[in-house]
Amino acid sequence: MEKVLMKGNEALAEGALAAGCRYFFGYPITPQNELPAYLAKRLPQAGGVFLQAESEIGAINMVLGAASTGQRVLTSSSGPGISLKQEGISYIAGSEVPCVIVNIMRGGPGLGGVQPSQADYFQATRGGGHGDYRTLVLAPASVQELYDLTALAFDLADKYRNPTMILGDGVLGQMMEPVVLKPSEEIERPIPGWAVRGKRGGKAKLITSLYLEPEALEEHNLKLARKYEKMQQEVRWEEYLTEDAELVLVAYGTMARVVKGAVRRAREKGLKVGLLRPITLYPFPSEALGKLAERARGFLCVEMSMGQMVDDVKLAVCGRAPVSFYGRAGGIFPTTAQLLAQMEKAMKH
């Protein structure tokens, strides 16, 4: 297979095109701008629509409208813009409309900075907006995965009629790496039965998140809860040298690739360490961590934040082994030497 060099943001855009996405609505923000720039050029060539909205709020509501017609629709932003989109994301989840939302994270809170971060984990995995809902969350760790997981994101969104979020960060978006693109093929996607496309003499259909009767709204919530339960089967993760690991590191995205390199160095020094990398953050690989907790002596969670995913690691480990945490913020991430020192410290306890 031929390898090509691409920036992460561009590979994601190419993945969306390959998945049959023909609609993008967004508003610019660093560090994800190459993604809309790429699609602004490519979507019209592919017979699609690229639209830069007046704001993130406008963009996410265009996503709701376009996706309601059964088309594959994408939007992308970074932290501050994703916050603005939350109202719309809640409406999309409540209306059970599939779409893909990309967050190429930067440091916060507030305007923060433009350097890479993993500070939006809570926002992504807890729903983010108001109401009681979940989004599927995928965490790529390479340019290849930005391409591959985008196709998966659309498939999962369609399968569950639910928004899927791709959670990357500035490093992944900006970096260039070799990527293998799939041979392009015309995907024939039937228009789903729930899509609203004009009555055309048929039965009227309604897409809404408004249920004023308490019984009807509870029934809707129960239905959503059953769906989120079913989504648990989509959990994906990677384990690296965990078979005999005394200390298991847990990291996702960019942080996971840095940790993987450090684990390799630690093994050379004789430290029995391994890595569990969640590929889906919701659903979270709690069972896999639980199994490791039966034999590992400790866990070390590493994030580009002050500690968010570590809460899920603690819930999964459930007191069976100590869980420690190491995090950096603001665009700074740990060096291999710092990670080695943290591993040695965790193994002493």
Partner 1 sequence: MLEEIIISGFGGQGVMLAGQLLIRAGMEEGLEVSWIPSYGPEMRGGTANCSVVLSDEPIGSPVVSEPSAVLAMNLPSFEKYLPLTQKGGLFIYNSSLMDEAPGRGDLEMLGVPATEIADGLGSGRAANMVMLGALLARKPLVKPESIIAALAATLPAHRQNLLPLNEKALKAGAEFAEAR
140 binds partner 1 (CB under 8 A): no
CB of 138 to partner 1, least distance (A): 20
For residues 306 and 337, which CB has a smaller minimum distance to partner 1 in the complex?
Answer: 337
- Nearest residue (CB) to partner 1, 138 versus 141: 141
Among 220, 257, 277, 328, binds partner 1 (CB under 8 A): 257
* DSSP codes of every residue in 297-347: SEEEEEESSSSSHHHHHHHHHTTSS-EEEEE--TT----HHHHHHHHHHHH
Q: Can you tell me which of 115, 125, 280, 342 binds partner 1, judged by CB under 8 A?
A: 115
> Among 64, 136, 156, 259, which residue sits at the site for partner 1 (rule: CB under 8 A)?
259
* Closest to partner 1 by CB, 30 or 86: 30
DSSP state, 116?
B
Residue with tokens 């790496």: 177
Four-CA torsion 123, 124, 127, 130, nearest 10 degrees: 40
Residue 189: HSE in the Cβ half-sphere, 13 Å Cα cutoff: 19
CA angle, 197 then 198 then 202, to 5°: 105
By CB under 8 A, what part of segment 172-191 binds partner 1?
174-178
Among residues 107, 108, 168, 170, which is the contact residue for partner 1, using CB under 8 A? 170
Residue type, 78: S
Question: Does 30 interact with partner 1 (rule: CB under 8 A)?
Answer: yes
* Nearest distance, CB of residue 220 and partner 1, angstroms: 43
Task: Determine how many CB atoms are found less than 10 A away from the CB of residue 320.
Answer: 15
In the structure encoding, which two tokens stand for residue 252, read together? 């996702």
Is 3 a binding residue for partner 1 by CB under 8 A? The answer is yes
Contact call for residue 117 and partner 1 (CB under 8 A): no
What is the size of the binding site for partner 1 (CB under 8 A)?
Answer: 24
Residue 92, CA distances (Å) to 47, 130, 203, 230 in order = 25, 12, 22, 19
Q: Which of 230, 335, 341, 345 binds partner 1 (CB under 8 A)?
A: 335
Residue whose C-alpha is closest to residue 127's, from 86, 98, 157, 166: 86
Which of 260, 266, 274, 282 binds partner 1 (CB under 8 A)? It is 260
118 binds partner 1 (CB under 8 A): no
User: How far apart, in whole angstroms, are the C-alpha atoms of residue 264 and residue 253?
Assistant: 17
Among 5, 191, 222, 341, interactor with partner 1 by CB under 8 A: 5
CA distance 167 to 256: 13
Per-position x/- string for 214-253, each x denoting binding to partner 1 as judged by CB under 8 A, each - no binding: ----------------------------------------
The partner residues of 250 in beta bridges, in order of sequence, read 276, 301
CB of 269: closest distance to partner 1 in angstroms? 16
Interacting residues with partner 1 (CB under 8 A): 3, 5, 30-31, 114-115, 170-171, 174-178, 254, 257-262, 264, 333, 335-336
